[in-house]
Structures are given as C-alpha cells and as structure tokens.
Amino acid sequence: MTRLKRGPRGAVRTGLAVFAALALVTGCESLEEGGLSTGSGAPAPVPDGRAVSPLKNPDGTKPGLGPVTSGTDESAARKLIESLRTKGRGPKTGYDRDEFGYAWMDTADGVPLARNGCDTRNDLLQRDGQGLRFRSGSDCVVVAMTLHDPYTGTTIEWRKQKATEVQIDHVVPLSYSWQMGSSRWSEGKREQLANDPLNLIPAEGRANSSKGDSGPASWLPPNKRIRCAYAVRFTQVALKYDLAVTAPDRQMMLEQCGD
C-alpha cells in the first residue's frame, strides 16, 4: 500500500499538492478534535473537483468522496455490495474506544500513511483539505484549510481554534464493527480499522455527530448525490476487514445505487 514518507519541511505538502492535481477525474467517533459548519452563514455548495469516486480509490489515499454517476459504475457498485455477508448486530458489551488504540496514532502498521511522522487526523486533513496552513515549524499540524464536505455538499473554512467544526468520520463506526465481530480481533487489527484512510472521511461535525454508530439503514449522508459512493466506501471497508453487515444495511446500500 502507498505510504507517504516524511522528508524535509514542506515536502509532504508539495507531494500532496502534486498528487491532488494528478487525481482530478471516490462509527463515527466524536473525539477531542472532531463538528459544525462555519458560523458566518451557510457555506456555499461548491463541489470538490478533486474528489475521487470510491470505485477508483480502493485504498482511500486519494482525496474526498466523489459521486458514483454512470450506470456502469452503479452496476459495479451493486455487484460489490451484493458480495457482503449479512448477520444480526451483536451486543455492544465491552466496547470502548481505547480497544482500537489511542486517537490518532501514527503507529498502526499495515495501513497507508502509517509511521510517516504525522498523526492520522492530520494526514486526513492534508488528504482532503485545500489551502492548507500549518503550525509554525511543522509540516504536519494543519491549523487552517478549506474543506469541501461530501456528506453535506457544503464548504467549510476551518480553523484549529474551532477544531470541532470538522470531525473525522469512521465510515464503518468502531462500535458497529465491535458488534459485528471486531471484539474478537487482535488489538493490531482494530488499530488498523481505526486509522485506515479507507475508513476515514473529514466531515462537518453536525453530520458526523448525528450519525453516531449507525449503519446505512439508520443514517445516510444528507447530500443525496454522494449516497451511492458512501455505500460503496462502507462496503469496501467491510470487505477489506471481513466484516458482515446487517441485512437492512445491505438492502439500503443497494437502494442507493439504483437497485
């Protein structure tokens, strides 16, 4: 899997900018730096031209979550979703966020961007944000950026002073995964799920908070254009980690992709 290595100050920023230009063409946990749109009126609904369809972004290292639009891609999305195993959701007994490692660790081996000298949250802000500004003396800690939130279709002018205006969503919520089998995983595998870019999307905090630990049958992004893409990403994570989903969740995901 692709990894970004830390080089001289500014190297990662430059590399990400080049990568974003080339990419033109796819649980949530309310943590200490996790929700709201800007307070100066409703942000304009400006699409992110860099956002990549999940069908073209199988490891989650490319920016954003672009919509699934063509009939061919919708057919491919349904086929992927149909391959999911289903079972009932188990109890939440014993679940604790700490079972998935501390947030946002840079040492979860086996996932992209691990051990690059920058924590997972800041890696994700760099992946999806534009107009990045960094803390003085750092090429890791983002203190300001523009985020085109796929979940709401709005643009957020984010500043670290109001960190909770942007949260990092676990597409497959950690407590959902716990109820579907991750309670029996090794600690290392749970850390991978919690820090895998495939399972992480920076989003408006209110949307993130409203999701809680819901599956797709109970919560979908407010932005209808992105719902099939969200279903694909949920499926990609579940398949990668061999997680079943509930039958209602699978049915709802199929419906988002033209079933």
Q: pLDDT tens for residues 53-73?
A: 999 999 999 999 999 999 999
Q: Is residue 194 part of a domain?
A: yes
Task: Show the domain range for 99.
Answer: 11-256
Q: Is residue 52 part of a domain?
A: yes
Q: Is residue 3 part of a domain?
A: no
Closest CA to 243 of 177, 175, 188, 174: 177
For residue 204, the cross-strand partners are 166
Closest CA to 170 of 121, 108, 132, 130: 121
Asked if the model's pLDDT at residue 196 lies above 90, the reply is yes
Q: Is residue 6 part of a domain?
A: no
Asked if the model's pLDDT at residue 84 lies above 50, the reply is yes
Is residue 190 very low, low, confident or very high in pLDDT (cuts 50, 70, 90)?
very high
Q: Is residue 4 part of a domain?
A: no
Q: Is residue 1 part of a domain?
A: no
pLDDT tens profile 224-248: 999 999 999 999 999 999 999 999 9
Residue 77 or residue 12, greater confidence: 77
Q: Is residue 29 part of a domain?
A: yes
Asked if the model's pLDDT at residue 121 lies above 70, the reply is yes
Domain count, the chain: 1
Nearest-angstrom CA–CA distance, 200 and 180: 18
Closest CA to 161 of 145, 143, 173: 143
Q: Is residue 56 part of a domain?
A: yes
